[in-house]
Amino acid sequence: MVEYVWYISLTRLNCDEESEMLGLWMSPAGKNTKMISSLRLAAVNWAAKLRLGRSSQQAEAWKALNTTISRKLMHPLPALTLTEKECTSIMAPAICTALVPKAGISSCISSVVRHAPTQSLGLDVPNLYTAMGTAHTSLLLEHCWQKTPTGQLLQVAIENHVLDVGLNFIWDNTRFASYSRWRSHHSWIYNVCAFNNEKEIALSLHPKRRHDRALMELASEFLNTTSELKAFNRVRMLYNVVSLADITSATGKDST
């Protein structure tokens, strides 16, 4: 019997180099440069085709905006962490072409009215930033408490975020402004917390022990500057501790 051995040449990339995987450009460092360029190019190409098309009805351009290019641009959003400015830049070519010359809607209309739902007398034009944020929160609610591969990955990401932040109440919007001073801003979970804080979406995550308090919460009461908080946070992360219960005995009276 003849055995065949196949060799595959693997390309070694730096952590900040992006590569295409399942239609997404991603990098371990969280860069979105190529993904943004790819999505905007798709919007530009779609706008050019619509501009040259011979659609005679305004409803056709409106339907095309909501059923073709919008769905294409929304597909990778759950895996991305884009800013509102980046989302606006990606969608701009499609909106400018589909709404103004084709659908007959004024270009001076407020973006609030443009993206507001029809129940609030808006146009209900898809908003990529809102769609991305709600998709992130929906993933947490649907998978985090289930034994799915996505749920397990999200659970690990949450645990890493709690360790990095040093607070048990990472979903508490009243604490977001505090821990954003020392927390790195590149992670997926941080972007979920930032969006929920902006949109006043509240999720609950209770501590495992009664009367337990997070170390960073206590540190913020005594340390005033950001540099001091970051220094304290580095030491805390070095020892992999989050709350008082991690450094005290079962009675809470002695340190370990």
User: What rounded mean pLDDT belongs to the chain?
Assistant: 80
Q: For 141-195, what is each residue's pLDDT tens digit? A: 888 777 788 888 888 888 777 777 776 666 666 677 777 777 777 788 888 888 8
Q: How far is CA 151 from CA 106, 138, 146, 155, 187, in A?
A: 44, 12, 6, 6, 17
pLDDT given for residue 90 in this prediction = 94
- Model pTM score: 0.72
Predicted confidence band of residue 85 (pLDDT cuts 50, 70, 90): very high
Q: How much is the pLDDT for 38? A: 92
For 108-154, write each residue's pLDDT tens digit: 778 888 888 888 888 888 899 999 999 998 888 888 777 788 888 88
Confidence of residue 252 (pLDDT cuts 50, 70, 90): low
Residue 168 has a pLDDT of 64
Q: What percent helix, strand, coil does the chain show, rounded to 5?
A: 55, 5, 40
Average pLDDT over residues 215-241: 83
CB 142 within 8 A of CB 154: no
